Chain A
Amino acid sequence: GAVVSQHPSWVICKSGTSVKIECRSLDFQATTMFWYRQFPKQSLMLMATSNEGSKATYEQGVEKDKFLINHASLTLSTLTVTSAHPEDSSFYICSARRGYGQPQHFGDGTRLSIL
Chain B
Amino acid sequence: GDSVTQMEGPVTLSEEAFLTINCTYTATGYPSLFWYVQYPGEGLQLLLKATKADDKGSNKGFEATYRKETTSFHLEKGSVQVSDSAVYFCALHPSQGGSEKLVFGKGMKLTVNP
Pick the contact of B100: A6, A34, A106 (CB < 8 A). Answer: A34
Bound Cα distance from A70 to B55, whole angstroms: 38
Q: Chain A: which residue is nearest B6 at the CB level?
A: A43
At the interface, yes or no: B29 with Cβ under 8 Å from chain A? no
Residue total for B at the interface (Cβ-Cβ under 8 A): 17
Please, could you name 21 A-B residue pairs with CB atoms under 8 Å apart, sorted by A? A6-B43, A41-B107, A41-B109, A43-B89, A43-B105, A44-B44, A44-B89, A46-B101, A49-B101, A95-B43, A103-B49, A104-B46, A104-B102, A105-B46, A106-B43, A106-B45, A107-B43, A108-B42, A109-B41, A109-B42, A109-B43
Main secondary structure of the interface of A (DSSP, over half): strand
Bound Cα distance from A44 to B88, whole angstroms: 12
B53 to chain A, nearest CB (A): 18
Residues of B within 8 A of A (CB): 36, 41-46, 49, 89, 100-102, 104-107, 109
In the complex, the answer to whether B49 meets A108 with C-beta atoms within 8 Å is no
Bound Cα distance from A43 to B100, whole angstroms: 17
Residues of A within 8 A of B (CB): 4, 6, 32, 34, 41-44, 46, 49, 93, 95, 97, 100, 103-109, 111
